[in-house]
Amino acid sequence: MADSSAPHSNGGAGAEAEAVPRSPAPPRRVALVTGITGQDGSYLTELLLSKGYEVHGLIRRSSNFNTQRLDHIYHDPHATPSAARPPMRLHYADLSDSSSLRRALDHVLPDEVYNLAAQSHVAVSFEVPDYTADVTATGALRLLEAVRLSSKPMRYYQAGSSEMFGSTPPPQSEATPFHPRSPYAAAKVAAHWYTVNYREAYGLFACNGVLFNHESPRRGENFVTRKITRAIGRIKVGLQTKVFLGNLSAARDWGFAGDYVEAMWLMLQQDKPDDYVVATEECHTVEEFLQAAFGYAGLNWKDHVVIDKKYFRPSEVDCLQGDSSKSRRVLGWKPKVGFQQLVEMMVDNDIELAKKEKVLVDAGYRDPKQQP
């Protein structure tokens, strides 16, 4: 005989569905990103949002908006309901101002801090060495100190650079000694050792990512790879005929920025903090980049490239090629985009950009002599 006290499975009269208690949703992880408006910052923000993070970015006060790389994910809080906006917020702060960093950390209370901000152009660092050191080196120290003094434990990522290796012969790994050849590289070395010191002295979960050159369609237009692909687009539509470059023999390990931000995130997910080299382990000269990019566009680079001595550095770095075996072994990271695919991605983007620029020129809204 059936037990009349059992709940009816057919939902008949007198039956009540028993409420199943739900486990509370895990709290959303919070990340704070300096340099969020840059190439790496935009890709990292996309990655973190895709993983369910709430992302806060620090930006410097400027008379001009510099958020183009975030336009596709940033929504004006006055124009978009909160439910329709991605969980991303921007805050004014500056690595040269300790108080603004403390306020930002105290307000946001992030779980993870990614320090990507810097004066990151090597050639420019020779022109503004004091500023480069203040922002790139001492700025990292200010942020580390703010993290140390915070009421909440935070994991910290410091963006390093292959330029720190300088004239040390390749391949370069975590065990390779640094020999910086520019104010930028020297400042990055200082930031690296500040990070190691705070990890050892105060027990901070602080990691250095020594990233080799990483490019994308979002790369700044005064960096050599983007300068080349930008010129190709303008040449194809008739807005430009020549591009002026420096040392074509310089060799670099070029990867895709979208791949490299995943390595940043993986470093902060480990049980113990450490330092990692991130690289493709392939090396190409600037001339090889020219051949690949111009060739893909159906052009001969020798018809359009002019060597200008002003683009040579006071102290050159001949070859940077990474050994990322530790990152591949410990983090399980490896690059997905190869050299030729990266080149084609950038050329395709800049040809389309040049076509839009041509419309403005033809309509009289832009001077055709105004080159990026």
Please name which of 105, 49, 97 lies closest in space to residue 73, comparing C-alpha atoms. 49
**What is the SS3 assignment for 251-314?**
EECCEEHHHHHHHHHHHCCCCCCCEEEECCCCCEEHHHHHHHHHHHCCCCHHHCEEECHHHCCC
Q: Is 0.75 surpassed by the pTM of this model? A: yes
Residue in 161, 216, 324, 327 annotated catalytic = 161
Please name which of 80, 81, 79, 77 lies closest in space to residue 91, comparing C-alpha atoms. 77
The mean pLDDT value for 357-370 works out to: 88
> How high is the pLDDT of residue 14?
45
Whether 184 is a known active-site residue: answer: yes
| Paired tokens of 64 | 């001009």
Residue in 46, 54, 163, 262 annotated catalytic = 163
Angle, helices 39-50/257-267, rounded to nearest 10 degrees: 60
Res. 4: pLDDT tops 50: no
Lowest mean pLDDT among 184-193, 262-271, 308-317, 340-349: 308-317
Residue in 53, 114, 157, 184 annotated catalytic = 184
Res. 156: pLDDT tops 50: yes
Percent over 90 (pLDDT), the chain: 83
Res. 297: pLDDT tops 70: yes
Task: Give the pLDDT band (50/70/90) at residue 62.
Answer: confident
Task: Give the pLDDT band (50/70/90) at residue 76.
Answer: confident
| Paired tokens of 78 | 């006055």
Res. 147: pLDDT tops 90: yes
Res. 368: pLDDT tops 90: no
3-state secondary structure of 207: strand
Whether 161 is a known active-site residue: answer: yes
pLDDT tens digits, one per residue of 177-190:
999 999 999 999 99
Give me the chain's average pLDDT, please. 92
> How high is the pLDDT of residue 135?
97
